[in-house]
Structure 1
Amino acid sequence: MPTFEIGPEDFLLDGERTQVVSGALHYFRVHPDQWADRIRKARLMGLNTIETYVPWNFHAPEPGVFDLDGRRDLGRFLDLVAAEGLHAIVRPGPYICAEWDGGGLPAWLLADAAVGVRRHEPRFLEAIGKYYASLLPLVAERQVTHGGPVLMVQVENEYGAYGNDPAPERQKYLRALVDLIRGQGIDVPLFTCDQANDEMLARGGLPELHKTATFGSRTAERLEVLRRHQPTGPLMCMEFWNGWFDSWGLEHHLAPAEANAADLDDLLAAGGSVNLYMFHGGTNFGLTSGANDKGIYRPIATSYDYDAPLAEDGTPTAKYYAMRDVIARHLPVASAEELGADAAGASAGAGAPVLDVELTAHVPLADVLPGLLREELRTFPYVPTTDDLELWSGFAVYRTDLRADDAVLSVAEVRDRAVVLVDGEQVGVLDRGSHTFAVALPARAGELTLLVEDQGRVNYGPRIGEPKGIIGPVRTAVRTLDEWQAGALRVEDAPKLLEAALDAAAHAPSGGAAVAGLHRSTFDAVAGADHFLRLDGWTKGLAWINGELLGRYWSLGPTHTLYVPGPLVRATGNELVLLELHGGASRRASFVDGPALGVTEQ
């Protein structure tokens, strides 16, 4: 059987020196029908390996659930990698960061405050053991030592950047993970990765595990740092940052292709191995985006284009060709003839179908909420968190009664945003990102409703695992509000749950403003073609195509389009549904010929 080993200076594949040239491609950010296309384009660029994280919470969204079907079929993804003649690196966490909701850690597990997050704690390790037992057998049977593509498996992720446990406790935790991984039949090399920083590399690994580093520039300097902590064996940059992610309210990040290519050339010329982060970013479909909080909460945008060599819609960019040219100086690459149509160099998304649609069927927001409740509202003698509601992502409703003299609503904190309604009328917004924790109330008695949105659990730093929802106390000008009714919503299923209401809704004429609520239109299109949905004039909400939740839109930007994968689109009878939280200047939505990812920092 084949072998893959860590030699004195190089990776050894069947005893032969091998330079790993890998690219990050997350199966969970790409429609499954497009996996093969993205993998093929990786090979055509010159990559010999595909790397992917595995988000624990994607496969285990609820306690006692583990899903490996459809979008979650990691086995099929790895088989497609093998079919293309490529190898694979698997990084199963338990923590992945990756700008993913909660860094991949299940919120339902961390809702128990006694669980020791990323520590040698029995409940945490027991849960990881069950996770690995559900996941790793499919990886084990696809190891290179079993005739499959998997070369290496990662232990934890950038652990040197997290926590302040003493070194013996940190090493005890990592060794427990090693034992759990090996116990599931993983026999290929294990490794850790940390930023190319002396402190982090010292804290994040084990003497017996191969260390890799993460960086995006100053290659020679960073390799020197890594060599201090990895005296022998191959040098590898496990995340070569060739782009960056976008957060709502900030600019669209770009990294110059020329600088990326020059740094990659330096790395390969030094004999280093590499994993491009990202080769292809993809999309944070649904409600999967994470968030960062370094004093200001910043939720991650729906697009995860990442300014990667392969754009969000799978189109090769200038960076793709620049990096391919660099790789060709060091390793064999596919011929220009095989590159074929992909070598056209067209901009991402050029030529996508263009059309406008009017969303004339409408159900007001106040009428939408009851139909989306997962169960009857529960009564609490305190303000609950959404964790108390066993809601691990999405939206919840909070309700209580107001008096005429309450005057103002004030919360200790909202995680992360709440639309404030009095008798169904919007009167304001509570918002974590802007530290808006108070709203003026009308001078009348009435019913207060808070539509609370979890905009993404923090994926990096000490706030990992924090509860979501309204954080009390909640006060008015004259009293504390202690009596609440609250319940979780099933917003992901909104078009299906409210189909009858939309069918019965009166159809507004074209033109005019759109109010808060659920809106629907049907349209014909080009079957199988990628589309780009643009929602100018709309404010904030969710968008579905044919029942599939594309993700969040927000006029805050930077992103102004949502990517619609071609496999979701049919020739006739397509359905577009928007859950608009505030209102729009018109009822029109547009499909445009390419992405609009926003203003840049350049």
Structure 2
Amino acid sequence: MTEFAIGESDFLLDGKPFRILSGALHYFRMHPDTWADRIEKARLMGLNTIETYVPWNAHSPAPGVFDTSGMLDLERFLREIADAGLYAIVRPGPYICAEWDNGGLPAWLFRTPGMGVRRYEPQFMTAVREYLDNVLRIVQPLQVDQGGPVLLVQVENEYGAFGDDQTYLKSVAEIIRNAGTTVPLVTVDQPVDAMLAAGGLDGVLRTGSFGSRADERLATLRKHQPTGPLMCMEFWDGWFDHWGGPHHTTGVSEAAAELDALLAAGASVNIYMVHGGTNFGLMSGANDKGVYRPTITSYDYDAPLDEAGNPTAKFHAFREVISRYAPVPDVVPASGTAAPETSAALGSPIRLLADPSAWGAVSEHASMPTLDDLDARLALFQTSVDVDGPTLLSVDEVRDRAYVFLDGAPLGVLDRERHDRALMLPHGGRLEIVVEDQGRVNYGQRLGEPKGLIGPVQLGSEELRGWSARVIDLDGVPELWTSLDGGGPAQDAPGVGPTAWRAGFDVSSPVDHFLSTVAWGKGIAWVNGFCLGRYWRRGPQETLYIPGPVLRPGRNELVVLELDVMAEPAAHFVSALSLGPLEL
């Protein structure tokens, strides 16, 4: 039986000093049939461990649900790590940040009156216990002392940046221990005195999160932890992107030098990320520090393995640094090859405003409901307005984007990032508003806030009442043509309002493809029913990544839901990723 423990100055594996050389791979950001490839490439870079978060909201989209199918098969992922001869670190939260929708916390938590999130509150602790028990039921038999790969389990995540409820932190640690966790526990915080004090626990190893000035940061960490191994649990080797911003990169030589300094100090490391992957579906998060900034679909992170899993210059530089401190395999993974290039016309448009009946269920409301009231990410709201002349339409806050139509004609867009909250109606008529959730804030005090049009919708000084609300069934969008018996006729001219388009395209071999989105407006795309995620002409990213396992030899189907205006109703598959400009 293997024993893993925390010694006076080192991690100890069967009593011998062991340096953790880890890289972050999020199983929920990769197609499961690519897991083995990414794990093997991490091994070839010289790593001996793989770390992953666990996203509560993905596993539990509704109370009482714990889904482990497909991309959520944590047990399969951990077993594939073991099969590669590597160890594992599991970070189940319950809060993970990770630029992931709501920081991993399920939206339904916040709909319970009195729920106290990330603090010791009975309702929250009951939900946390159920969640962690479900996760650790998978992890428990896969711990290293039971023949599995798991070395460490983390308690919460950067809690010192959020709160200081030690009763809560101790309770989370107790839940993890009581679920049969026998490997060491850790916390992680930025190496700032106040954060390490508030987010740490006596008897639990503190680790740091940083990407530079290793000696200084490790000294701060040591001040709060006189004994035990030093570890950077998140060595930031890149960064994430927001819609409308640049694509972030870090210099290869600079990043390699920082990694060298960290390893020269004798510390263990978890490289965040070794491969970032993709925010498939609608799971990318957002930040709001006065201005709302949603995160893009790509989570490339300028990591050593790019979004498609290909080694970059940073991979080879990091591998060379690691070779100074530990043996690395002789084999080096091959560079990526160009993806197939082809095009296909988008046709058979189905317009939401022309006939909403097939798009989802409708309900009636006296006042405008929020998206949370409807459990929706996208919804159409309709009412009649009876005014003679121009009148102000206003709300308290837009979360996050509202497309306004009057008598079938586009009137304007209210955008949260611009702090929009009002526009003029020129006259009365049929008012239709499509409201979009662009991703929940994943960091700070705005976690869990409801989505939609917040506060009463007012016409002048009076509340506008009598709304019908139709939840757009996004999972059903690729099936619209079946439900409508072929849908509408093919049209070349752009239509008004959200429109679903489809295209067939042929694939000779199911390899990775890259879908260009530069000629489109804003929306969501699916291939063979698999949701690739959001696109937006604002950039920076200009391609959506299609994993090879999503495709099949022969005919494949692309479906696009365009929410804005599509300049060219055609799909172009290009040879490589295009993640946008580095400066604006």
What's the counterpart of residue 370 of structure 2? 385
CA distance in 2 between counterparts of 1:50 and 1:137 reads: 19
User: Do the aligned partners of 2:402 and 2:413 also contact (CA within 8 Å) in 1?
Assistant: yes
CA deviations on 1:490-533 (whole Å, 9 max, x unpaired) are: 11321114434372321236xx5565411111011233210110
AA paired with 2:223? R
CA distance in structure 2 between the partners assigned to 1:81 and 1:573 by the alignment: 34
Asked if 1:508 is matched to 2:491, the reply is: yes
1:58-457 to structure 2, matched below 5 A, reads 58-163=58-163, 165=164, 170-335=165-330, 338-339=331-332, 342-344=333-335, 350-367=337-354, 369-373=356-360, 375-379=361-365, 381-391=366-376, 394-405=377-388, 407-443=391-427, 445-457=428-440
1:552-571 → structure 2 map (5 Å cutoff) = 552-571=534-553
Change in CA separation of 1:504 and 1:371 when aligned onto 2, cut-off 3 Å: closer
For residues 564 and 264 of structure 2, the distance between their equivalents in structure 1, rounded to whole angstroms, comes to: 54
Q: Does 1:580 align with 2:575?
A: no
How far did residue 208 of structure 1 move?
A: 1.1
Distance 1:2 1:367 in 2: 64
- Please, what TM-score do these two structures have when normalized by structure 2? 0.97
Query: Which range moves more in the overlay, 590-599 or 399-408?
Result: 399-408
Per-residue CA shift, 1:304-330, capped at 9, x if unaligned? 000000000000000000000000000
Give the distance between the partners of 1:312 and 1:47, measured in 2 at CA. Answer: 19
SS of residue matched to 1:199: helix
- How many Å separate the matches in 2 of 1:153 and 1:504? 51
Q: Which string of whole-angstrom CA distances, capped at 9 and with x for unpartnered residues, describes residues 27-61 of structure 1?
A: 00000000000000000000000000000001000
Give the letter for the 1:440 counterpart.
Answer: M
Letter in 2 for 1:225: T
Structure 2 counterpart SS, 1:524:
strand
Q: Distance in 2 between matches of 1:194 and 1:471?
A: 34
Label 1:327 to 1:514 Cα distance change in 2 as closer, same or farther (>3 A). Answer: farther
Contact 2:405 2:432 in 1 (8 A): yes
Q: Deviations over 1:57-96 (max 9, x none)?
A: 0100011211011111000000000000000000000000
CA contact (8 A) 1:23 1:275 kept: yes
Cα distance in structure 2, aligned partners of 1:278 and 1:453: 30
- Specify the code of the residue in structure 1 equivalent to 2:358: G
Q: Note the alpha carbon deviations across 1:104-160, whole angstroms, 9 max, x for none.
A: 001101122401110000000000111112121110010001000000000000000
Equivalent-residue separation in structure 2 for 1:407 and 1:370 (angstroms): 30
> In the aligned structure 2, how far is the partner of 1:360 from the partner of 1:399?
27
1:323-357 deviations in whole A, cap 9, x for unaligned?
0000000001100xx22xx244x5xxx41010111
Amino acid at match of 2:549: P
Unaligned runs of at least 5 residues, structure 1: none
Offset of 1:388 from its aligned partner?
1.6
1:181 is displaced (CA, Å) by 0.7
Q: Secondary structure at the match of 2:314?
A: helix
Gaps of 5+ in 2: none
TM-score by length of 1: 0.94
Within the candidate set 477, 487, 508, 1:494 is matched to 477
Contact kept, 8 Å, 2:380 with 2:470, in 1: the verdict is: yes
Q: Distance in 2 between matches of 1:39 and 1:488?
A: 39
Say which SS state the counterpart of residue 238 (structure 1) adopts.
strand
Alignment-mate amino acid for residue 131 of structure 1: Y
Are the aligned partners of 2:246 and 2:581 in contact in 1 as well (CA < 8 Å)? yes
DSSP 3-state at the match of 1:449: strand
Asked whether the 8 Å contact 2:350–2:487 carries over to 1, the reply is no
Counterpart in the other structure of 2:3: 3
- Paired residue for 1:23? 23
Give the share of equivalent positions with the same residue, in percent.
54
Letter aligned with residue 422 of structure 1: L
Q: Amino acid of the residue matched to residue 574 of structure 1?
A: N
Cα RMSD (Å)? 1.5
Give, in angstroms, the shift of residue 451 of structure 1.
1.0
CA distance in 2, matches of 1:446, 1:184: 59
Q: d(CA) in 1 for partners of 2:328 and 2:139? A: 27
CA contact (8 A) 2:481 2:487 kept: no
Counterpart Cα distance in 1 of 2:35 and 2:511: 16
Partner of residue 599, structure 1? 581
